[in-house]
Amino acid sequence: MLRLARISPRRRCATLYFARAVCKIKTLFRSAETRLSAMQTLSLLMHCDSPNAAESLASLVRPLGYAVDVQHCDDSHAFSARLADASSDLALYVVSAEDTLPAQAQDPRQTPLIALLTSTDAALGSFIGQGADHVAYLDDQDHVRHVILHTLQTQAREQRLQTVEARIHAAQQPLMVLLQSTRQAVAYVHDGFHVYANPAYLRRLGYASLEALQSTPLLDVIPDDKDRTAITDALRQLTAGDADRHQLTLSLITPDEELTRYHAQLQRSVFDNEDAVQMILDEQVIESVSPQALPRAPRQKIHDPVTQVFSQSHMLTLLDTVLEHARTSGDEYLAFLVHLETGPDKPEYTDQCMRAAADRLLATIDTNDVLGRYSGNSFLLLSSRDASREPAQLADQLRRCIGNLGGLLHGDTHCRVSAVVVDRHCDDAEHALTRLKSSFVHAQDAKVPVHVDLTQFLNVPGSQMVDHVWAGRVSTLLNNNRLTLAGLPVVRLRNDSWSRYSLVLQLHDEQNAPLPLSAFSDPVRMTGLSASVDRWIIFHTARQLSQVLQHQPHVQVFIPLLGNVLQQHDFYTWLEKVVQQFHLPANSLILQLDADAALDAPETFGTFCRHMASLNCGICVTEHDDPTVTHELFDQSRNTITYLAPSQYLVDDIHSDRDSYDTLNILAEQCRRQQTLSLVSGTIDASTIAALWKIGIDLVAHDALIEAKNTELTLDLSATLSA
């Protein structure tokens, strides 16, 4: 009989441990396979010296939770081709200080591009101007990993946002089909304008298309004053959230002036992801009312009986509506005054000329423009400000379209046209008309047919007499060398190779005594001369700086601007010519812009940032004091801001106010995250400098920091404006 060998306890224990180890290894393999299958694969396009260098960079990305598919290119042309076909998730380009990015990097693309600099002497901003989305030093691997992670997270958020928007759009489609097919008249109103109306609503109001109704303010289809007041109050309460719904009885008028009275239901709603008011007209018509039943007939109230364009009273109402929309949305509009010189002062002759001029103007203006008769010989035109239409060219086009009216008008100049910008800073219609008339007076005094004033409205009292006086004073100051500039040193608390200077305006009277700058800057802005003064400063600074750079490289000059360059559409073309004329290197000119101006016009500021990057000029945003809106300035890193300057009062209160200290600390940290240098200026003592250094502020502009006079930048900027 065969006897089985007895297994010793030691062997049985070893066998048990081995079985458990095998189970654990299987479990680990299954867990690794699960994680690997769930891991997102990242297609990484790289331009570097060798595949080994590419693999070294890929090793920085894998710990972030990605499976990396490396596409290595050692040729810039091959890299550019792959970058253009958008087959990669992220592109890394290793570049030295002497090299540049491929020209295709500035073309529109979907793949983010990060420039990795092999030398710390290279200027980060120059590669941003060449098309890189982010820049980092290759030796600082922690920073490289942080930049890559930030870029991927931003890209993921944008993709999720696009997905959500697509889902919202898909969910809205059945609702839009329902709105289009219902017999109930439904419209959505935002800021006093129709943003949508279904076919039933359009039929009730007699409009052939939604586009025609969208250009018509809601108050234009409500002729009765009591109804206007009622719906204005209702819209204000609904928009402010003081009420959820309202029921009104309104008289609505069609373009053919058929008047019908409806029950209207108004309630708070959302349309196209924006707050709106839904307006439903009951299917049953209450009663029809003739226009003669109103206190004033609609044609007499809305239209001029001679020219058939809108009347003066109605144009003033429209101007108030435009101003309200400008204040809530930040949009800008243009107001034109077209004045005819009709010759003999006879009513029948004037009426004949105005009728002919109205027909020609209506044939020339855009369908969204609104024309009305302002006075006996004048028309008022309201137009949306569009970058594709230059205001001066449009004004000249209005003048030329009238011509000599078939021989009715006499003389070389048959009409004059003046124009102003109507924006959120304008107080009321009277304020806008006062500026418009003042612009017309300028055209008369200068004996020119067209005068366009594109300056921003300011709450500064003034008159045309003040304008003329200050226009003469500014010319005298420049021509007599009483307006000069001083270069104030800007010192970095952490050393680098750059020399920086902030320009300070200095004003002197006839006895060469200093004058307060406020006595000059406010009237210059009010009279519309700020753009000319700014360009005088930039031009002569660039000319002198080009000479300084020959023996003192790495110099940056901060230029304070009196005007708002965001509103000067020809500024970029002019600045490009200046930069090319004097061969200025990247970021040698830093233009200072107020934070409020940037936040008030985010789209225009974004365009400004892109233009400045393409021109290799830097941007310094000043007077910023709210960390909660800093992300709006950078717009998810789309806007490149070279320097950010916190408000002066935060620095003044750094020791006495804990909130000011914390605010500066947060702003400094936000600047570090965005690779933007922080800058403060003013009267600063040693203890304040120590506190700023501890917080992490990068730069301080203060003349007491440098006692050696030979370190200051000397610029001879006393040339006249005509030079």
Cα–Cα distance for residue pair 46/34, rounded to 1 Å = 29
Q: Is the pLDDT of residue 4 over 50?
A: no
Q: Is the pLDDT of residue 166 over 60?
A: yes
Higher-pLDDT residue of 376 and 626 is: 626
And the tokens for 460?
């500064």
Q: How confident is the model at residue 710 (pLDDT cuts 50, 70, 90)?
A: very low
Q: What are phi and psi of 15, to 5 degrees?
A: -60, -40
Topology classification of domain 466-705: TIM Barrel (3.20.20)
Q: Is the pLDDT of residue 327 over 70?
A: yes
Residues of the chain with CATH 3.30.450.20: 182-298
pTM to 2 decimal places: 0.38
Q: Is the pLDDT of residue 705 over 50?
A: no
Compute and round to an integer the Cα radius of gyration of the chain. 33
Spell out the residues 6+ positions from residue 322 whose beta carbon is closer than 8 angstroms to its own.
333, 382, 422
Q: How confident is the model at residue 621 (pLDDT cuts 50, 70, 90)?
A: very high
Cα–Cα distance for residue pair 459/477, rounded to 1 Å = 25
Closest CA to 720 of 476, 446, 468: 476
Predicted pLDDT at 641: 92
Hey, is 696 helix, strand or coil? coil
Average pLDDT over residues 448-454: 71
Hey, is 460 helix, strand or coil? coil
Average pLDDT over residues 324-342: 82
CATH of domain 304-457: 3.30.70.270
Cα–Cα distance for residue pair 152/525, rounded to 1 Å = 44
Q: How confident is the model at residue 123 (pLDDT cuts 50, 70, 90)?
A: low
Cα–Cα distance for residue pair 226/597, rounded to 1 Å = 38
Q: Could you report the per-residue pLDDT of 471-486, keeping only the tens digit for each?
A: 555 555 555 555 566 6
Cα 371 to chain centroid, rounded: 29
Q: Could you report the per-residue pLDDT of 335-383, keeping only the tens digit for each?
A: 898 888 766 556 667 778 888 888 888 888 888 888 988 877 789 998 8
Hey, is 573 helix, strand or coil? helix
311-341 as b/e, with b when 16 or more CB fall inside 10 Å?
Answer: beebbbbbbbbbbebbeeeebbbbbbbbbbe
Higher-pLDDT residue of 685 and 578 is: 578
Q: Is the pLDDT of residue 445 over 50?
A: yes
Hey, is 373 helix, strand or coil? strand
Closest CA to 58 of 44, 41, 48: 44
Average pLDDT over residues 176-184: 77
Q: What's the burial of 29, exposed, middle or buried (CB within 10 Å: 0-12/13-18/19+)? A: exposed
Where are the alpha helices (H) located in 549-696, listed in sequence order?
571-582, 595-600, 602-614, 630-634, 648-652, 658-673, 686-695
Hey, is 378 helix, strand or coil? strand
Q: Out of 3.40.1190.20, 3.40.50.2300, 3.90.1150.10, 3.40.462.10, which CATH number does the structure's domain 38-158 have?
A: 3.40.50.2300
Residues of the chain with CATH 3.20.20.450: 466-705
Q: Could you report the per-residue pLDDT of 484-516, keeping only the tens digit for each?
A: 666 667 776 665 667 777 766 666 655 566 555
Cα–Cα distance for residue pair 150/144, rounded to 1 Å = 10
Q: Could you report the per-residue pLDDT of 524-556, keeping only the tens digit for each?
A: 665 556 777 788 788 878 888 888 888 777 788
**Would strands 274-281 and 40-47 be described as parallel, antiparallel, or unpaired?**
unpaired
Hey, is 457 helix, strand or coil? coil
Cα–Cα distance for residue pair 366/215, rounded to 1 Å = 11
Predicted pLDDT at 10: 57
And the tokens for 599?
């936040």
Q: Is the pLDDT of residue 633 over 60?
A: yes
Q: Is the pLDDT of residue 470 over 80?
A: no
Q: Tell whether the torsion through CA atoms of 165, 168, 173 and 175 is positive or negative.
A: negative
Q: How confident is the model at residue 39 (pLDDT cuts 50, 70, 90)?
A: low
Q: Could you report the per-residue pLDDT of 381-415, keeping only the tens digit for each?
A: 988 887 777 888 888 888 888 877 766 666 555 68
Tally of CB atoms within 10 A around 371: 23
Q: Is the pLDDT of residue 650 over 50?
A: yes
Q: What are phi and psi of 681, to 5 degrees?
A: -145, 165
Mean residue pLDDT across the chain: 75
Q: Could you report the per-residue pLDDT of 207-228, keeping only the tens digit for each?
A: 888 877 876 778 888 888 888 8
Q: Is the pLDDT of residue 263 over 80?
A: yes
Average pLDDT over residues 660-675: 88
Given a contact cutoff of 8 angstroms between Cβ atoms, the answer to whether 68 and 23 are in contact is no
Residues of the chain with CATH 3.40.50.2300: 38-158
Predicted pLDDT at 478: 56
Q: Which amino acid is at 34?
A: T
476-494 as b/e, with b when 16 or more CB fall inside 10 Å?
Answer: ebbeeebbebbbbbbbbbe
Hey, what long-range contacts does 173-180 have (CB within 8 A, 24 or more apart)?
none
State the CATH class of domain 182-298: alpha beta
Q: How confident is the model at residue 618 (pLDDT cuts 50, 70, 90)?
A: very high
Cα–Cα distance for residue pair 478/480, rounded to 1 Å = 5
Percent of the chain exceeding pLDDT 70 equals 74
And the tokens for 464?
């045309």
Beta bridge partners of 252: 260
Predicted pLDDT at 527: 54
Q: Tell whether the torsion through CA atoms of 576, 579, 580 and 585 is positive or negative.
A: negative
Cα–Cα distance for residue pair 527/471, rounded to 1 Å = 7
Given a contact cutoff of 8 angstroms between Cβ atoms, the answer to whether 641 and 634 are in contact is yes
Cα–Cα distance for residue pair 454/25, rounded to 1 Å = 75
Closest CA to 686 of 698, 702, 673: 702
